[in-house]
Amino acid sequence: MYSLKDKVVVITGASSGIGEALAKEALKRGSRVAVCARNMDKLQAVFETGNESILLYAADVSKEVDCKTFIDAVSAKWGGVDVLINNAGVSMRALFEDADINVIKELMDINFWGTAYCSKYALPSILRNKGNITGVSSIAGYRGLPARTGYSASKFAMQGFLEALRTELLNTGVNVMWVCPGFTASNIRNTARNASGKVQGETPLDEGKLMSAETCAKIILDAIEKKKRSIVMTGQGKLTVWMNKLLPGLADKLVHKHFLAEPGSPLQKYER
Ligand SMILES: NC(=O)c1ccc[n+]([C@@H]2O[C@H](COP(=O)([O-])OP(=O)(O)OC[C@H]3O[C@@H](n4cnc5c(N)ncnc54)[C@H](OP(=O)(O)O)[C@@H]3O)[C@@H](O)[C@H]2O)c1
């Protein structure tokens, strides 16, 4: 068991959704918490300023220099990092045929490179502290999802990176883990990029019926404390991962059917 009490926990992308919930739950568990997002106003709106246990920092994780200065600021305040949760992420909803290639690059820059940069700069102190590196991945990191080519590529890249890093660090006392939430209520679908790279500004799902970000955050922090290897959170997710391994052709058909049925699905273009 690895207690989060008094640990320095760094969370990227914490101004909404799962990251915000992770930060608030880590504070409840007695951690000192450093959070970043691009928009400082949003961070200040969701976290109490003046709380000595939280550090708010404006950083764009797709920029290496921002990741370095963020981790440096955490080290200057608290002497180093125990736990890094690479959570910042954006999604997309557009066919590859229609999407500007820069959409794929932006998703790789944020979801994959953000993870690599923050992990690189936090690793020396995490090694010293025998801490944890976590990636908030997705089922899209196990199974490619249509109209989300860039998102799937970035999450596969994240998981491959973390699995390799986990194996490198196997005998160091550092635990590397990735977690795959199912559909969770958050802002991720509103900010998903459309074909031209603009935010789509709507969600095709009924967000009220999804897992709450708070429940998702508790599962992730419990998994860090139990030093898990990886977590697939929902039954639907577990079934998808399992079926993709054993019956990949059937998985193609079922995943296609699921995403074709979404309101306004880009896949309808190929059905005419
Ligand atoms: N919600 C789901 O259904 C679901 C399912 C599976 C996996 N996930 C994963 O969960 C993670 C969190 O997503 P969420 O659902 O909580 O979405 P969200 O509510 O949209 O939160 C995303 C957070 O990331 C920040 N962010 C985005 N780009 C950033 C950048 N370049 N640098 C720094 N911060 C950045 C956003 O703040 P700013 O815009 O102010 O920077 C925001 O705080 C993502 O990695 C996502 O892929 C979500």
pLDDT of 52-102, one tens digit each?
Answer: 999 999 999 999 999 999 999 999 999 999 999 999 999 999 999 999 999
Pocket of ligand 1 (CB under 6 A): 12-19, 36-39, 42, 59-62, 87-90, 110, 136, 138, 181, 183-184, 186-188, 191
Query: Is 241 domain-assigned?
Result: no
How many structural domains is the chain composed of? 1
Query: Is 194 domain-assigned?
Result: yes
- In this structure, is the dihedral angle defined by the CA atoms of residues 92, 95, 98 and 101, taken in order, positive or negative? positive
What is the reported pLDDT for 48? Answer: 86
Query: Is 253 domain-assigned?
Result: no
Active site amino acids: 151
Residues 112-128 have a mean pLDDT of: 98
Query: Is 69 domain-assigned?
Result: yes
Q: Which domain holds residue 16?
A: 8-234
Query: Is 126 domain-assigned?
Result: yes
Query: Is 244 domain-assigned?
Result: no
Query: Is 32 domain-assigned?
Result: yes
> For 2-58, what is each residue's pLDDT tens digit?
999 999 999 999 999 999 999 999 999 999 999 999 999 999 999 988 899 999 999
Cα of 202 to ligand 1 centre, how many Å? Answer: 15
CATH number at residue 176: 3.40.50.720
**What per-residue string of b and e applies to 13-50 under the rule 16 or more CB within 10 Å gives b?**
bbbbbbbbbbbbbbbebebbbbbbbbeeebbeebbeee
- Is the distance from CB of 151 to CB of 140 less than 8 angstroms? yes
CA-nearest residue for atom 46, ligand 1, is: 89
Query: Is 60 domain-assigned?
Result: yes
